[in-house]
A = this chain, B = another copy of it.
Amino acid sequence: MKIVLIGAGNVATHLGRKLVEVGEEVVQVFSRNLDNATELATALGARPFDDIYGLTARADLYIIAVSDDAIEEVVKKLGHLPLGEKLVVHTSGATPSKVFEATPALERTGVFYPLQTFTKGKETDFSEVPICVFASQSADLQLLEELARKLSPHVYTVNDAQRAWLHIAAVFVNNFTNHLFEIGHSTLKKQQLPFEMLLPLIRETVAKLDGSSPKFKQTGPAVRQDWNTTERHLTLLNGRGDLQEIYRMLTKHIKRTHADNWKH
């Protein structure tokens, strides 16, 4: 397949490299920043461009991998190009596929969402990345599934509603979790203790996970109903405003989630 990558950020870079690795041909890379386009295009053996109207109409698949708030604008511009019969997908977990509806000139559209956090300069093992596909036409869904399976064995058909909730879940387990780590970091720093002290505990918290509900692995004062400890913590957190509130909310929610356990 001949593929055009629209975007040269983290997702475009990691996805582009993997596509080339499995034998797909990336023919063009677009970025509003020509340097970025050139860097990625060079790595992929593709041509860079920074004027969206310079895009070739001779590819098979157009992958929009730009920031969420730029997708709509890119889609509109693509509507002015002769791509009516070409498959156009975006890679966003946050963006419904109806972003394409305002541009009926694009007849074949879909989503190709790799559910992972990509870091610049850090290689990603794609064989571990779940890829969520969706398409307006069933033949395209099959095509995207086949392409996805070349990158990873973990391919899921995920509709807009599911993807929206999946994205919320990802915010909780990735973004919010990382922020809890930051709270741990800053708490220790105030006590002249190094963040390294918490890393084994964090790693073990995750190592314990499998496909089953993390509920069964919950530990700590809230699930033990050790309200002496939670009250002592809340007292210490007095004057730490938001942190006290976050502690209170999460403790309350753990209590509610596990209320059923305690009835037995």
Chain A residues packing against B (C-beta within 8 Å):
67-69, 94, 115-117, 119, 122, 124, 128-130, 132, 154, 156, 158, 161-162, 164-188, 190-206, 208-209, 211-215, 217-224, 226, 228-229, 232-233, 236-237, 242-243, 245-247, 249-250, 252-254, 256-257
CB of A158 within 8 A of CB of B200, answer no
Contacts of A164 in B (CB 8 A): 232, 236
B197 to A209, Cβ gap below 8 A? no
- Beyond the given A175-B223, A202-B209, could you list 6 further A-B residue pairs with CB under 8 A, ordered by the A residue number? A115-B200, A116-B200, A173-B180, A176-B247, A196-B211, A242-B252
CB-based contact A171/B213 at 8 Å: no
CB pair B172–A205 under 8 Å, yes or no, is: no
Find A182's partner among B179, B184, B218 (CB 8 Å cutoff): B218
Indicate the member of A129, A183, A213, A243 with the most B CB atoms within 10 Å. A183
The reply to whether B169 and A229 form a contact with Cβ atoms under 8 Å apart is no
A215 touches B165 (CB 8 A): no
- Least CB separation from A196: chain B residue: B211
Task: Tell whether, in the assembled complex, residue A218 and residue B158 are in contact, meaning their CB atoms are under 8 Å apart.
Answer: no
Contact of A219 among B128, B174, B217 (CB under 8 A): B174
A252: which B residues are within 8 A, CB to CB?
A: 242
Task: Return 29 A-B CB contacts under 8 Å, by A number.
Answer: A68-B228, A69-B226, A115-B197, A115-B200, A116-B204, A154-B197, A161-B191, A165-B191, A166-B193, A169-B187, A169-B188, A170-B201, A172-B180, A173-B183, A173-B198, A174-B205, A174-B219, A175-B218, A176-B180, A176-B247, A176-B250, A178-B219, A179-B253, A185-B213, A185-B214, A199-B209, A202-B206, A203-B206, A246-B253
* Selected contact of A201 from candidates B68, B117, B180, B196, CB within 8 Å: B117
